[in-house]
Amino acid sequence: MISIHLHSATPVVNQITAEIKRAIARGDLRPGEPLPPVRQLAGDLGIHWNTVARAYRDLAADGYLTVVRGRGAMVSPRKQWPDRISEVRESILGKIRNLIAEGTLGGLEIEELKDLFYAELGKWQERG
């Protein structure tokens, strides 16, 4: 379910939160579904348990998880997820602009970038 890269410049806690958010967005993790216990996931990933606990706390603070001491973490009901449409739209536009710049500076044509984008969108649609 979750994979991390220990030698990445992205902190492990951020990798875990991003992986869990992707799993929720794809529907791999559904509201009410439990996540692995902190110590189990930490052992599976080969990291300290506190890193996983922090990721779970961060996701709970954002409304994506419900954490109950002694019972673990589960995906929160959708109505508890933050309503951040305008914020998310602006964030995505900034990332798209950066990806276009990176791609064109790296030698990719606009059509190639569109093909990559639509291919990835297609993978998400197939899951839904």
Tens-digit pLDDT profile for residues 70-124:
889 999 998 888 777 888 889 999 999 999 999 999 999 999 999 999 998 898 8
Distance of CA 91 to the CA centre of its chain: 14
Q: Global pTM? A: 0.72
What pLDDT sits at residue 2?
87
67 neighbors 60 (Cβ within 8 angstroms): yes
With pLDDT > 70 as the criterion, what percentage of the chain qualifies? 98
Model confidence pLDDT, tens digit, residues 47-60 = 999 999 999 999 99
CA distance 71 to 99: 41
Q: Name residues whose C-beta falls within 8 Å of residue 82's C-beta, 6 or more positions apart in sequence.
A: 62, 63
Fold exhibited by the domain 12-80: Arc Repressor Mutant, subunit A (1.10.10)
Helix and strand numbers (H, E) in the chain are 5, 2
- Where do the structural domains in the chain lie, given as residue ranges? 12-80, 85-127
